[in-house]
Each structure stands twice: as C-alpha cells, then as structure tokens.
Amino acid sequence: MMSSVPGADRKSKLLVYTIEECPVCGQKTKRAFTVGDYITKEASKCPKCSNTARVSLVYAESAKQSG
Amino acid sequence: MSISAAVLQVTSGDLTTYLYIAFFGLLFVVQFAFGTRLQSYFAINEISRGLNKLRVMKDKARKDAIDYLVNVGKAQADPTQRVDQFLDYVTIMPVDIDPSGLVGKIDHVVTTNNDRVRAEVGSLLNQNNPVTVSISENLLEVATSLNQIHKIVRHFYLLGKKTNSYFTLVQLQMLMPMIIQEADALLNATDSFRMGEPVGDGIGPVVVSRFMAGKEKRVIAKDTVMAITEYKGRKLYVLKADGPMAYVGQPGVAIQKIVSEMGVKPSAIVMIDAALKLEGEKTGEIAEGVGAAIGGIGVEKFQIEEAATKAKVPLYAILVKQSILEAITVMRKEIAEAADKVAEVLNRVIEEKTKEGDEVVVAGIGNTLGVAQ
C-alpha cells in the first residue's frame, strides 16, 4: 500500500541574500545575508556615489535559481 | 481414450474450477469479514509513521528553542524545565454561550497570555535586546504548537486503536499528509526566526516601511508604530508592527485610536497583507479586494471592521499570495519582488479612491521580523 505521509525533506536548498540600495542614485548591490541584517538598516557606502546605502530587501532563492 | 481416462480428465478440470471458486470465495469472505480490520491495520501503520515524524519535529523545535535561549539569550540557568512547563501551558478561551462582548473577552485572555509569555521569556534571558526576546517568544510558540499537534494526533491515534474505531483511524489517516505539511512548515520557520530573516508574512510591513523611512515614528499601540506622510496631496497615516522585532503588533487598536481618539476622518483604510494561496496559484501574485485583510484569531479584524463601520470608511485590501510554508519561513524572491508592484497598486488605489486633501490610513499587516521602519 502506498504511503500518503510525505517522505523526507525534498526541498531545494535556499540561499538568502541582502539587497542594498543607494537612496540617492538607486544603485543596487546583492550580497549574502548576514545575521543582524534587516530592512532599512544602514549598509555600506554606495560604490557609485559613496552615499550610505540601506538594506532594501532580504530574500531567499533556490541555489538553482541564483545560478 | 478409455472411459476411466475420460473420467479422470473431467475430474481434473472440475478440480481446478473448484479451486478457483474456493479461492475467490475465500477472498470474498476475508474481504467481507476482515476488510475493515485490514484497512485499520494499514491506517494504524501509516498514522504511527506520521506520529513518529511529529515527535521528532516537536523535539527538534523544543531543542532549538532551548539552544537559542542558552546561546543567544544567555539564559542564566538551565531553561529546560521552564521551557517544558511553557509547552504545556494552556489558554482557556472564554465561554461563548452568551456571545455578547465575546471579542473583548477573547482580547483580554489573549493579551494576558501574550504579556505572560513576554514576561516569562524576559525572566529567562540574561539580556533585554527586544529582537532576541521577540525571537525567543516566537520559537517557544512554534515549539508549543508542534507539541500540541503531536498530542492531539497521538490522542486520536490511541483512541482509534483502543476503541478499534475504523472511522476514527481512517479520518486521521486522510488528514495526516496535511498535518505533516503544516508541522513541517512550522519546523522550517524556526530556522528563519533564529537567523532574524524577514518571513513571507512580512510583505505588508516591507511595503509600508518604504513610506515610513525618514519620517518621525510614534508608538500608537502595543508593539505598533505609526508615521504621518504625504502622497499626492493626501495625508497618509502609515502603520506597522515595530520592527525589526518579530512582532505582529495591534493594528486593530491602532486604527481604532487613529479614527476615534485622534479625530482623523479617513476617506479610506488600505490594508496590505499576505494571503494563503490556493493550489495552482502563483507565489507573489497580487490580489485586490475590499474588507479587513488580517488573519489571526479575529479580534483585530473585529476592531478594524467596527472602527471602519462606525466612521463609514471603506476598507480596501491588497493581498500577496503565498503558501503557509512561504508565509512563515524566509521571504522568497517572488514575494519580495512583489513589493514594488504592491506599492504601485497602493498608489493607484489611493489616487482612485481618494482626492487631494483627504486622509488615508495605510496598514502593513504581518510579522515584522527583520523589517524595521
């Protein structure tokens, strides 16, 4: 008889990224998420205009999706 | 062919036929007499496997909560005993045979429980970082939920076995895949909570945090903040739970205060929330509608509907579709990327439903872990 109870975890591995966005020039930078990151947190200097960027998004995508 | 040989051949053919008849007859009798017992046996086996999974899950959630309290929360003493007491703590809902004033009573009981949880967690930890305290609260709630699910499933499993009730066992067997799926989602949520990552349910707060950035914020209700801003000549009262803590806040109380105590006469209340998608719907799809877009036990929804009805303010909803797993685990790319589109929809709703000089309340509903303002 086939079991209807779901088997072991078959989910694909998720990678979590932090997106930093410069409020002045709109330049976006994607990096790996680190503990303590949160949306609106002040981030590093914008590589384009040297203004302070902010974390605009934190999201996960599958390892396959992120290439 | 001799006569004796012919008789032997006929007898041999008949014997095979009789054997067939006997075999299928026996099968029929077995199926008729013991069919439900066999089905019960299979159901018991399957439920037992599911129950084992649930036990492993609830033990892991409990261990995760204890580890977090010790390693991150720097608990002074071994919190194991207190956590175990916490897992079995019950919240007794008020009697509903006289429904008048029931929401107020439920609100009172739930608020008392939330205050108790926060006080207990606070006393366990050796620090008062609000993010750590809120994450600890959420981890303990997940562990409590899994403990409760395991207990209820075990109860019906043992009851079905004890009373040899075929229907109890088969119903439980049919529900097991959904129960395991929900428990699995809860267990996965612990990883996101421990890391402080925004969850899918936080999409509403993500959108409104953009309207609040750089504006003066004030606490309008417990764990809830509000900022006043402007959009195309409209005055916006934007509110969300206080982030980046893992709070959901009290948007119902906040909207009641804005409408009745602050004397604001909004032309619209727009609520942005995550909504459970149906199978076949895409994650991150946006739906618009009317009504109070908020889940939970119903207290906040009641408060918002009452405030809106009294002031005759239309309620508009913008929903972002996601599964239960996606709602309580780290925010998926599809959901995060819907934030820009939701902001566009919000702007359009404000432009279409209100005019210059109007006041509008915008509420971002959901768990605001990892989403400040």
State the pairing for strand pair A52-62/A42-45: antiparallel
Instruction: Establish whether the linkage from the previous residue to B244 is cis, with ω within 30° of 0.
Output: yes
Give residue A1's pLDDT.
42
* A52 touches B at CB < 8 Å: no
Question: Residues B5-47: pLDDT tens digits?
Answer: 665 565 666 888 989 999 999 999 988 888 888 889 999 999 9
CA–CA separation, B160 vs B154, rounded Å?
A: 10
Asked if the model's pLDDT at residue A2 lies above 50, the reply is no
For B4-61, what is the HEC assignment?
HHHHHHHHHHHHHHHHHHHHHHHHHHHHHHHHHHHHHHHHHHHHHHHHHHHHHHHHHH
Contact A58 B209 (CB under 8 A): no
User: What DSSP letter does each residue of B166-223 carry, written as one string?
Assistant: HHHHHHHHHHHHHHHHHHHHHHHHHHHHHHTPPBGGGHHHHHHHHHHTTS-EEEEETT
Question: Using CB atoms and an 8 Å cut-off, which of residues 196-235 of chain B contact chain A?
Answer: 196-198, 206, 209, 213
* A35 touches B at CB < 8 Å: yes
Question: Residues B304-344: pLDDT tens digits?
Answer: 999 999 999 999 999 999 999 999 999 999 999 999 999 99
* A16 touches B at CB < 8 Å: yes
Using an 8 Å Cβ cutoff, are B353 and B316 in contact? yes
Q: Which residues of B touch A58 (CB under 8 A)?
A: 197-198, 330-331, 336, 370
CA–CA separation, B269 vs B313, rounded Å?
A: 7
Q: Which residues of B touch A3 (CB under 8 A)?
A: 46, 49
User: Could you tell me the two tokens for B257?
Assistant: 């205060």
Asked if the model's pLDDT at residue B152 lies above 50, the reply is yes
Q: Where are the domains of chain A?
A: 14-66
Those residues whose C-beta lies under 8 Å from the C-beta of residue A35, and which sit 6 or more positions away, are B195, B196
pTM comes to: 0.88
Nearest to A57 among B42, B196, B336 (CB): B336
- Which residue, among B172, B152, B155, has the nearest Cα to B40 in the 3D structure? B172
Q: Which residues of B66-101 are buried (b: 16+ CB within 10 A; e: fewer)?
A: bebbbebbebeeebeebbeebbeeeeeeeeeeeeee
Those residues whose C-beta lies under 8 Å from the C-beta of residue B296, and which sit 6 or more positions away, are B248
Q: Which residues of B touch A67 (CB under 8 A)?
A: none
Asked if the model's pLDDT at residue B368 lies above 90, the reply is yes
User: Could you tell me the two tokens for B326?
Assistant: 């996606």
